[in-house]
């Protein structure tokens, strides 16, 4: 399977089961973990990607990711630190990996878009203008490999 | 007397106008303002009573403008204001006051305590007695237009991200658009989905809109720090941008002080009426819905409640639009106790959240909001202010509450009928 745009990408993700979506979502997040300054996010991903993860464990992982997300908010009037913002959105993506889901939820798409925002934030500091587009292409490749 | 103190006292003398003189003479020491202030009620600290926060102003007034006060001063019977006093009062004036206006609302004598806090902050800022975080935010605003240092390239990157992700157009500098949206840096940084929501809504409503590259920032830190010149500068940028783009309406986003500054204080600050209308985003959404331009999905069945942002509701007068929208979105809406204009503040406005020393106090003050939320037995909370959102999230997380927070604008966008 070859995925070349977001319409194909989103449709392919929607065709996966919730468990499969979690799996591929964690791979999206793992791709940007080196940009994350909080090690707790890696713990969340380790939990969420397990095949035998229980609902209780997912809930705990979700809460942990939420803690990182809230702690990394930039408060009104504080100077923006784009590195912390990158971590903030990676934490959001990690939450997507662990959140309760039904067959109607496209949690992998949510995780993918949060990862892309994280890349966008990182791109502001790195000066790389096309990080987001490259990340989208990475995600197409990851998903295609997963499905194949 | 230091040069800074001399300047501060001079400014305080200058800011004491007829209303302030009248207010200071009217106080009957009933304590109602204290019972309306969440910093006082949740800590029990009598120093946090709103009228006590104004003590330096009262002492300057008494010593400079009353016969008894002047005589006392001449005889050495009254205590002059010192640098130490202003240093101590910095905490009271900046850390424990969000300028939410609840004290002003309940005062039986009609005293506008918020007005006096603003003027006192002006004097203290000139004397150098303002929190470093707030000073830095104001410097960044003057230099970059944004208190958080968000510059145009960063905004353009977010716009590009949105366009790539969603295919939606986010226009920039479109001359002749009907609406110009200003954003708080909080939305650009923390909640990029807000801009996505606006793009969806405007497309569905068939309205033209634009951002302005020279005036995209809504937040007015001049109002927060109490410096009118800076408040004027920030409003002027928006006015110039709107007039250059020939827009009919400027939309103030989900940001508290932005609305009161732009909608209510702006014309007085710049000395003339606007050539355009200013509306809060909630007013715009309510209009679109009532005109049939936006069709929403059937109301959700889960229970929701709403946090009325102080600057938009109590101080800004936007009370009904959000209720109209919530009725369309939600079948089971339970208002908080003291809903509407009597709502309790989230504890983070007025520059408090920009102040690095206030985190612990804000979390203590949040207990009042927690009590309100628990009374509704709702796990879903809606609000319409980006600053409130962050403060509410911090409180919800700290107290491990099982509550999910939503932006009203984003809820409208997410519930548009396909």
Segments making up each domain of chain B, as ranges: 3-130, 135-288, 295-414
Contact B354 A6 (CB under 8 A): no
* CA–CA dist B212, B245 (Å, integer): 8
Instruction: Confirm if B251 and B244 have CB atoms less than 8 A apart.
Output: no
pLDDT means per 10 residues, chain B with 418 residues, are 81 91 96 97 96 93 93 89 86 94 97 94 83 85 87 90 89 97 92 95 97 93 81 94 98 91 94 97 98 96 97 96 98 97 94 86 97 97 96 96 97 94
Q: B248: burial class by Cβ within 10 Å (0-12, 13-18, 19+)?
A: middle
Q: What is the DSSP letter of B319?
A: -
pLDDT of residue A51: 93
Of the residues B397, B404, B405, the best mutation for testing chain A's interface (the one with the most A CB atoms within 10 Å of its CB) is B397
Measured in whole angstroms, the distance separating CA B340 from the mean position of its chain's CA atoms is: 16
Instruction: Confirm if B171 and B216 have CB atoms less than 8 A apart.
Output: no
**Domain B3-130, what architecture?**
Orthogonal Bundle (1.10)
Q: Does a structural domain hold residue A37?
A: yes
> Residues of A numbered 83-122 whose beta carbons fall under 8 angstroms of chain B's beta carbons: which are they?
85, 88, 113, 116-117, 120
Contact B133 A88 (CB under 8 A): no
Q: What ipTM is given for this predicted complex?
A: 0.91
pLDDT of residue A133: 74
Cα B231–B354–A83 angle (5° rounding)? 115
* CA–CA dist B157, B166 (Å, integer): 14
Instruction: Confirm if A35 and A117 have CB atoms less than 8 A apart.
Output: no
pLDDT of residue B125: 82
Q: Does a structural domain hold residue A27?
A: yes
pLDDT, one tens digit per residue, over A89-127 is 999 999 999 998 876 789 999 999 999 999 989 988 777
> Which residues in chain A are contacts of B387 at CB distance < 8 A?
75-76
Q: Does A126 touch chain B (CB under 8 A)?
A: no
Fold of B135-288: Glutathione S-transferase Yfyf (Class Pi); Chain A, domain 2 (1.20.1050)
Q: Does a structural domain hold residue A14?
A: no
> Which residues in chain A are contacts of B224 at CB distance < 8 A?
77
pLDDT of residue A103: 66
Confidence bin at A131 (pLDDT 50/70/90): low
pLDDT of residue B272: 96
Q: Does B157 touch chain A (CB under 8 A)?
A: yes
Contacts of residue A59, defined as CB under 8 A and 6 or more positions apart, other chains included, come to A98, A100
* CA–CA dist B131, A5 (Å, integer): 49
Q: With left for phi above 0 and alpha for psi between -120 and 50, is residue B99 left, alpha or beta?
A: left
> Which residues in chain A are contacts of B219 at CB distance < 8 A?
76-77
Token pair for A123: 């791109």
Question: What residue numbers bound the domain in which A105 lies?
Answer: 19-147
Contact B185 A76 (CB under 8 A): yes
Contact B351 A77 (CB under 8 A): yes
Locate the DSSP E strands across B368-410: 380-383, 404-407
Contact A120 B149 (CB under 8 A): no
Contact B157 A123 (CB under 8 A): yes
Closest by CA position to A90, among listed A78, A76, A102, A72: A72
Fold of B295-414: Rossmann fold (3.40.50)
Higher-confidence position of A47 and B141:
A47
Closest by CA position to B130, among listed B355, B349, B347: B355
Give the total number of structural domains in chain A: 1
Look-up: residue for tokens 């979700």?
A: A62
Q: Does a structural domain hold residue A92?
A: yes
Q: How many CB atoms lie within 10 A of CB B39?
A: 28
Closest by CA position to B114, among listed B410, B399, B357, B350: B350
In chain A, the percentage of residues whose pLDDT exceeds 90 is 78
pLDDT of residue A129: 62
SS3 B240: helix
Look-up: residue for tokens 């424990």?
A: B96
């Amino acid at each position: 399977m070859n995925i070349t745009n977001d319409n194909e990408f989103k449709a392919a993700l929607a065709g996966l089961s919730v468990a499969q979506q979690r799996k591929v979502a964690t791979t999206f997040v793992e791709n940007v973990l080196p940009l994350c300054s909080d090690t707790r996010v890696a713990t969340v991903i380790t939990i969420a990607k397990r095949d035998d993860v229980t609902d209780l464990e997912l809930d705990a992982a979700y809460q942990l990711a939420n803690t990182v997300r809230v702690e990394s908010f930039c408060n009104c009037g504080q100077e923006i630190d784009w590195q912390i913002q990158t971590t903030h959105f990676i934490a959001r993506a990690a939450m997507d990996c662990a959140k309760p889901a039904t067959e109607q939820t496209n949690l992998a798409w949510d995780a993918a878009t949060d990862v892309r925002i994280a890349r966008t934030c990182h791109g502001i500091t790195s000066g790389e203008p096309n990080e987001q587009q490259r990340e989208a292409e990475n995600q197409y490749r990851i998903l295609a490999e997963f499905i194949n | 007397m230091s040069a800074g103190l001399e300047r501060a006292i001079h400014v305080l003398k200058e800011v004491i106008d007829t209303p302030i003189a009248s207010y200071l003479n009217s106080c009957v020491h009933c304590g109602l303002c204290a019972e309306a202030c969440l910093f006082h009620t949740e800590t029990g600290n009598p120093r946090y009573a709103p009228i006590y926060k104004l003590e330096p102003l009262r002492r300057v007034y008494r010593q400079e403008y009353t016969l008894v006060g002047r005589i006392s001063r001449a005889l050495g019977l009254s205590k002059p204001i010192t640098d130490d006093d202003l240093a101590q009062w910095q905490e009271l004036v900046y850390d424990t006051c969000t300028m939410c206006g609840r004290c002003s609302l309940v005062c039986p004598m009609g005293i506008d305590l918020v007005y006096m806090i603003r003027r006192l902050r002006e004097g203290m800022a000139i004397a150098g007695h303002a929190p470093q975080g707030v000073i830095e935010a104001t410097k960044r605003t003057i230099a970059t237009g944004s208190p958080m240092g968000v510059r145009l390239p960063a905004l353009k990157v977010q716009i590009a991200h949105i366009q790539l992700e969603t295919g939606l157009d986010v226009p920039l500098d479109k001359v002749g658009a009907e609406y110009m949206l200003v954003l708080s840096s909080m939305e650009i940084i923390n909640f990029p989905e807000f801009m996505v929501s606006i793009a969806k809504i405007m497309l569905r409503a068939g309205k033209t809109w634009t951002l302005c590259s020279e005036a995209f920032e809504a937040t007015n830190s001049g109002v927060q720090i109490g410096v009118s010149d800076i408040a004027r500068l920030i409003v002027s940028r928006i006015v110039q941008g709107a007039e250059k783009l020939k827009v009919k309406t400027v939309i103030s986003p989900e940001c508290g002080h932005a609305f009161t500054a732009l909608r209510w204080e702006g014309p007085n600050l710049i000395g003339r009426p606007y050539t355009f209308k200013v509306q809060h985003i909630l007013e715009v959404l309510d209009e679109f819905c009532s005109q049939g331009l936006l069709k929403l999905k059937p109301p959700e069945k889960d229970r929701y409640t709403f946090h009325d942002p102080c600057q938009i509701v109590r101080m800004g007068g936007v009370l009904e639009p959000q209720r109209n929208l919530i009725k369309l979105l939600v079948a089971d809406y339970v208002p908080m106790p003291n809903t509407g204009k009597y709502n309790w503040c989230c504890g983070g406005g007025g520059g408090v959240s920009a102040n690095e020393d206030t985190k612990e106090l804000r979390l203590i003050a949040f207990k009042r909001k927690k009590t309100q939320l628990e009374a509704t037995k709702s796990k879903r909370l809606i609000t319409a202010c980006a600053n409130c959102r962050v403060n509410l999230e911090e409180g919800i997380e700290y107290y491990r509450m099982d509550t999910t927070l939503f932006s009203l604008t984003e809820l409208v966008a997410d519930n548009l009928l396909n």
